Structure 1
């Protein structure tokens, strides 16, 4: 049995827990919006056509911020199409996902949906095929109280109060050749800087996110961030990060250590951003918005997308990117979220991509039920339990070799502490062995365990499906014990665990 020891010192504070870490992402892609969030005629639908069974699951998930409406979709999007009388809204082709967009859900409807879930709107503007003036128009429509052409149009469209969107994304993945209107770092940096400066003339307190590289595997990763920030540093508040992970060729050991790559990604962007800040003698500390992250079996979907694009057929809300997640996938998602918490001093916003049906923690069937994927659980439990301040753990654990990431510790962990309450989140990456872990929590002042749950299964590829929606659920970890300031707990192989203390 592998053994590990973890020391927690309440003074080893990384940063406060950022509620925006627990964000998600809704894109007009596949069935995320249509038959996901919105399905008039569904038994659970409210008067606005939104599925209330999904609303309840989003509340349970604890998604604090929702990035919208893309993603690749935004680079061909005309926001004006999606407001006003529904019967007058045009149908458009979405080139990004080879689909038809009805525009039956737009900004005003989505903002109403957000009021149901209690989530904050994070809005993206189109800098792929559009530019400064449409971004300013959208800002006026969304945020100006009244008395201007576009704010009065919003009121006439049935939304008297401004949406007051604080966080705005300046385009999406503008380095990607798959993106409509993709461009060089120099061209994008100049456009983003001019757009940001103009938007802040309208409202100096906006929080603006400039596009970082769309992945650490891009040939310009690092250099893209440097060039873009050299143009835009003083006008923006965040630089974006995007990362997706999957198991390759049966190499589960490497997959379970994916968080090591996320660590590298974050550290590289932080160093690059700080380098630019120092060059500019800036007092600003650039923040990171990790506004796309998840497990995504991209290779398989690319082949299906190429087949769809080769056809002449354009469909409404086709089934795209509907990954069905396993226990192993959930362990990785839980570990990635732990890594984001460990970087809460610089990663102050993040979005799990996406929310419903499309590489999502929530699945729906048209006219039928909604259910939780395996990845739902580590996100919802962490969102519920993590509060106060993030505590940096000191971990002593054996390591194993991975083909993709080198040496990886078998055990990873992070903790939070908040006014008499604490939580510890752990993963065991060992493929075969249960690990025995001791955690010194004396510094936290904890005297009892209020909750201890583990997500694991004898079949690490077990999944929740329409036929078996509750095949995988977290279970109480009966091994957890707290005595004399030491928490002992056993972690099954390939597992994610949370323990709450008071």
Structure 2
């Protein structure tokens, strides 16, 4: 059996984990909204039309913040279409996704749903077909108490109290040619700067996210970040990152190692941010919002067959495998490794569209394989991220060399006297025996060791078999004289929880 070593020390602090690191995303695309969170007439629907079975699963995840309403959708969205009496709302062609938008759910409805599930809203403004004036109007509608045209319009729509949305995205993926209103870095930087000024004049308490590159493979990556920050550094609080991974060549060994690229991507963006800080001689440290991340590739062929201009088409509905859950777990670990700079992150998305939660129209809702690492991290990964010192066997594959079999992040909650070790064994063939030096945590005991594993890396949860892949309790973990000994099953996600007695 392969063996690895781990050292955990209270002094090796990376940073405090912002709860918003475990955020998610609801966009008006596919069945994320209609048939996902909202389905009037469903047996589980409440008076507002929201599915309570879906709400219960979202609450199970403990999602702290949800990005809305896009995504590509927002670059053509006229927010006024989604407020006021339902009978007066316009149906629009959604050019971003080739669908028909009914606008039954808009700003106020989504805000009410988010409150019901215990999440804040990360609101996005349209900087594709619109600009600073419309963003100013939207934040006045949402956040100003009253006594002005837009705030009083909100009150006339039945929302007396302001929403007080704290976090706002200045557009979405504006470097992408696929984006409605695609801009050069200079064009976007100038627009984002002027939008930021107006929005903060309306509400100085907000935080703003500027668009970074929509992916690392963009030809303008790096240069885009530098140019945008050159314009906006003093006005914005975060720069965004987006990435998705897939296993299109059916090379599992390389697929589960993809987060080595993610680590490098994060380091590169931080380097650009710090360069701009030096250039501007600023005392301000730019933080990151990794507000789109996930596995995405299964649905590509099916999506090409869809008709245009449908209402809520079954779009981007990846059904995830065991190996996908491993990659999602590793991506969470990558985020925790840079908790000092990544303050927010959004798994994209939350329901039906590349999502941990799936539904059947008029039917059940169930947990995908990726639900579990996300849930475990969100529930147990609150506190301070510690840097573990890892000695692990490594392997080579088609795309990478020296891939560590053991990937791990550690979160310490001093107040609750709890320690959580998240660990992935990437090895496809063998279990991994791990010895962890925990002498800094005298008096702690093992609460549980939970593993997500399955003999078949391609195993899935489906509507007919919703519990095919689920976590289970592992036995055999031992803590003696400050040394933790555990066995990680092959190709597994693991959560080892300890608490002081």
- The TM tier, using the shorter chain, reads over 0.9
2:443 and 2:77 map into 1 onto residues whose CA distance is 51
1:444 and 1:129 map into 2 onto residues whose CA distance is 55
The superposition leaves residues 19-76 of structure 1 with CA deviations (integer Å, 9 ceiling, x where unpaired) of 0000000000000000100001111111100000000000101111100000000000
Where do 1:295-444 residues align within 5 Å?
Answer: 295-297=295-297, 301=300, 303-308=301-306, 313-419=308-414, 420-444=417-441
2:399 and 2:159 map into 1 onto residues whose CA distance is 51
Shift of 1:453: 0.3
1:64 and 1:341 map into 2 onto residues whose CA distance is 16
Q: Return the TM-score normalized by structure 1.
A: 0.98
The superposition leaves residues 200-228 of structure 1 with CA deviations (integer Å, 9 ceiling, x where unpaired) of 11122210000000001111111110111
Shift of 1:305: 4.3
The superposition leaves residues 305-327 of structure 1 with CA deviations (integer Å, 9 ceiling, x where unpaired) of 4554xx6x411000001000011
Residue 485 in structure 1 maps to residue 482 in structure 2: yes
Q: Secondary structure at the match of 1:402?
A: coil
Q: Secondary structure at the match of 2:4?
A: strand
| Residue in structure 1 matched with residue 472 of structure 2 by the alignment | 475
2:450 and 2:33 map into 1 onto residues whose CA distance is 32
Q: Return the TM-score normalized by structure 2.
A: 0.98
- Given that residues 225 and 272 in structure 2 are in contact (C-alpha distance below 8 angstroms), is that contact kept between their aligned partners in structure 1? yes
Shift of 1:10: 0.6
- Paired residues, what number? 497
- Given that residues 230 and 276 in structure 1 are in contact (C-alpha distance below 8 angstroms), is that contact kept between their aligned partners in structure 2? yes
- Given that residues 303 and 316 in structure 2 are in contact (C-alpha distance below 8 angstroms), is that contact kept between their aligned partners in structure 1? no
1:85 and 1:198 map into 2 onto residues whose CA distance is 28
- Given that residues 446 and 501 in structure 1 are in contact (C-alpha distance below 8 angstroms), is that contact kept between their aligned partners in structure 2? no
Where do 1:85-484 residues align within 5 Å?
Answer: 85-297=85-297, 301=300, 303-308=301-306, 313-419=308-414, 420-484=417-481
1:116 and 1:295 map into 2 onto residues whose CA distance is 28
- Given that residues 424 and 498 in structure 1 are in contact (C-alpha distance below 8 angstroms), is that contact kept between their aligned partners in structure 2? yes
Which consecutive unaligned segments of at least 5 residues does structure 2 have? none
Which consecutive unaligned segments of at least 5 residues does structure 1 have? none
2:294 and 2:11 map into 1 onto residues whose CA distance is 31
Q: Secondary structure at the match of 2:396?
A: strand
Shift of 1:446: 4.8
Shift of 1:484: 1.3
Shift of 1:418: 1.2
Q: Secondary structure at the match of 2:408?
A: strand
| Residue in structure 1 matched with residue 11 of structure 2 by the alignment | 11
The superposition leaves residues 84-119 of structure 1 with CA deviations (integer Å, 9 ceiling, x where unpaired) of 001110000001110000000000000100111100
The superposition leaves residues 433-469 of structure 1 with CA deviations (integer Å, 9 ceiling, x where unpaired) of 0110011112133521112100000111110000100
- Given that residues 451 and 500 in structure 1 are in contact (C-alpha distance below 8 angstroms), is that contact kept between their aligned partners in structure 2? yes
- Given that residues 132 and 198 in structure 1 are in contact (C-alpha distance below 8 angstroms), is that contact kept between their aligned partners in structure 2? yes
The superposition leaves residues 144-184 of structure 1 with CA deviations (integer Å, 9 ceiling, x where unpaired) of 00111111111110111100001000000001111001011
| Residue in structure 1 matched with residue 494 of structure 2 by the alignment | 497
Q: Secondary structure at the match of 1:424?
A: strand
Q: Secondary structure at the match of 1:165?
A: coil
